Amino acid sequence: MSKKVESVKQAAPPPLPEILPHVFQQTVEQADIAISITDDHANILYVNPAFTRVTGYAAADVIGHNESTLSNKSTPPKVYTAMWRKITGGEAWEGRLVNRRQDGTRYLADLTITPVRDTQGLTVHYLGMHRDITGLHELECQVRNQKALIESVVDAAPVLIALLDAQGKVILDNHEYKKLMGDLGMAEPAELMLAGTGGEPDSASSDDSVFHDREVRIEREGWLSPRWFSCSGITVRGDDSAADSFFARQQVSYLLLVAKEITSLRVEQEKSRMAALQAVLAEEDRVNGLRESLSAAIYQIEGPINVIASAVAMLNRRNQNDPMSSALAEAVRAGQAALDNLRQEIPPAPREERASLALNEILRDVLQLSTGALLSAGITVQWQAAPTLPTLIGYPNRLRSMFKALVDNAIESMNTKGWRERELHITTRPLRGGIEVLIDDSGPGIAPELRLRVFEPFFSTKKGGSRHLGTGLSSAQQVVVDHGGMIEVDTKPRAGCRIRVSFPIGNSRESE
């Protein structure tokens, strides 16, 4: 049984309409681009009216002449060599040549030459099309010159300049910015600077000013001190170059970041601040020392007076007319009067307002104030500060004095004749709901039985000769308690002393 195979024939495409030769001729004649047709030796056979408008040569002036008639002889020979190599190889060539019009004026031609082959594939003609782009070239030169001038001015500016797009990518910068990139060893310092400004616009800024003269502090490992910059951000707008924006004009926004280094100014300000701070703390230390000395004297005198008062009471119970009792009672009254006079001479504690504090800055001040003592004792400091810490509400100078006393105690413990290991480690780290500070020294340490006694008023370990903490930690403990915190002498896996201080956030209280 045979099957009938049906063949499906696809419909043939309709024939293309034939374009008559005179249509091609009219098209070339009316084209608004200079067209010339030459033989295979570049002798001109045809030019269109646009050719005459561009070059000034009428058809009768150039037909039969070589295309080199247009050459101004100022185009480098290597350009013509490359052109002929390509078109004789059967490929089209595009480029720019300096041509000369009939009146002798020069112009820049944007030229395309295409080989025209016969049925055997041999090149028999060349089709040349060119247009005068002198005006465009002048405009390009103006843009390049203006760009070079702007770049020279920007690079010569003694400030850091970076232009960022909407995605925060730096698309333009200057030499000062690149220099900072090398110093920081990072790709984009602009990220650090923008993060340091807080990212919030100034409330009084104009539409184009995002922020103005905001100080940013940058610290990097290996730098002896931080570097400071005054940063300003300005919005810069430009036309969107996308094709969609050709008719419906759209703008894109950029951020111009301008930063001026003010480290030297801040260093001078810091020197003045530290000198003033040193004077304030010295005065506070003098007052506190006087208060402590008078309090210690009162404490020492009160003991014998209380003993005498007890003896007087005992004698009075036996014999109220005992002359010895009267004499001792008079001595007690005189002693108490002297104590009252001493109490009145105790200067009041310095008054200080509470403020928002950056604890890292407090400790940095303490280390700077103690630099001379640390260097003279040959002590190496390891400062490990947490990158970010919660803000603490407290008394800045009282905290500075307290931490400086702890550092001074550590220096004293290690500055012992023959003691070789001299390292001081200060660490800050955030806790859950608080801040912790560790002060570790490599000194002789505190005996376990004395770790609680060092907090007793007027207790001193100096008499032992190998331990430290001066007159005890009672004053430091009071400062920490006034801030709602806790201080303790912590155990260490090796020799030395570790003081652990912790502060809760938002829980400090007024000193009573």
Instruction: Render 347-358 in DSSP notation, one character per residue.
Output: PPPPP---EEE-
DSSP state of 463: G
pLDDT digit string, tens, across residues 265-303: 988 888 888 888 888 878 777 777 777 777 777 877 888
- Over residues 167-186, the mean pLDDT reads 88
Sign of CA dihedral 332, 336, 337, 342: positive
Q: How confident is the model at residue 472 (pLDDT cuts 50, 70, 90)?
A: low
User: Could you tell me the CA-to-CA distances from 481 to 295, 393, 425, 504 in Å, in that order?
Assistant: 20, 13, 23, 11
Q: Who wins on pLDDT, 161 or 467?
A: 161
Q: Who wins on pLDDT, 197 or 76?
A: 76
pLDDT at 470: 43
pLDDT at 457: 66
Percent of the chain with pLDDT over 70: 88
Which two tokens mark 469?
Answer: 């903490």
- Tell me the residue type at 496: G
pLDDT at 464: 46
User: Could you tell me the CA-to-CA distances from 286 to 167, 275, 335, 358, 455 in Å, in that order?
Assistant: 57, 16, 26, 26, 21
pLDDT at 166: 87
Half-sphere exposure (Cβ direction) of 37: Cα atoms closer than 13 Å: 12
Q: Who wins on pLDDT, 492 or 132?
A: 132
Sorted by where each starts, the structural domains of the chain and their CATH numbers stand as 21-137 (3.30.450.20), 157-261 (3.30.450), 267-345 (no CATH), 355-504 (3.30.565.10)
d(CA 159, CA 156) in angstroms, rounded, equals 9
Question: What sections of 319-378 are H helices per DSSP?
Answer: 323-345, 359-369, 371-376
pLDDT at 205: 46
Give residue 303's region: left, alpha or beta (phi > 0; psi -120 to 50): alpha
Lowest mean pLDDT: which of 143-147, 236-240, 346-350, 502-506? 346-350
**pLDDT greater than 60 at residue 161:** yes
pLDDT at 255: 92
Query: Do the bridges between strand 251-261 and strand 355-357 make them parallel or antiparallel, or are there none, so unpaired?
Result: unpaired
Query: Do the bridges between strand 160-164 and strand 123-132 make them parallel or antiparallel, or are there none, so unpaired?
Result: unpaired
Nearest Cα residue to 436 out of 381, 480, 372: 480
57-71, 340-354, 449-463 — which one is most confidently predicted on average? 57-71
Q: How confident is the model at residue 348 (pLDDT cuts 50, 70, 90)?
A: confident
**pLDDT greater than 70 at residue 6:** no
- Tell me the residue type at 484: G
d(CA 425, CA 414) in angstroms, rounded, equals 13
22-31, 204-213, 341-350, 447-456 — which one is most confidently predicted on average? 22-31
Model pTM?
0.55
pLDDT at 5: 47
**pLDDT greater than 50 at residue 45:** yes
- Tell me the residue type at 344: Q
3-state secondary structure of 132: strand
Q: How confident is the model at residue 227 (pLDDT cuts 50, 70, 90)?
A: confident
Asked if 435 contacts 425 with a C-beta cutoff of 8 angstroms, the reply is: no
Q: Who wins on pLDDT, 408 or 289?
A: 408
User: Could you tell me the CA-to-CA distances from 228 to 118, 217, 320, 402 in Å, in that order?
Assistant: 75, 5, 79, 28
pLDDT at 465: 40
pLDDT digit string, tens, across residues 411-448: 988 888 778 889 999 999 998 889 999 999 988 887 77
Place of tokens 């630099």: 371
Percent of the chain with pLDDT over 90: 37
Asked if 129 contacts 33 with a C-beta cutoff of 8 angstroms, the reply is: yes
**pLDDT greater than 60 at residue 468:** no
Q: List strand residue ranges (DSSP E) for 101-226, in order.
A: 106-117, 123-132, 160-164, 170-173, 209-218
**pLDDT greater than 80 at residue 349:** no
Q: Who wins on pLDDT, 216 or 460?
A: 216
Average pLDDT score, the chain: 83
pLDDT at 178: 92
- Over residues 480-500, the mean pLDDT reads 85
Q: Say how many Å lie between the first and final Cα of the chain, rounded.
A: 118
Lowest mean pLDDT: which of 82-86, 261-265, 458-462, 471-475? 458-462
Q: How confident is the model at residue 117 (pLDDT cuts 50, 70, 90)?
A: very high
pLDDT at 509: 45
**pLDDT greater than 90 at residue 505:** no
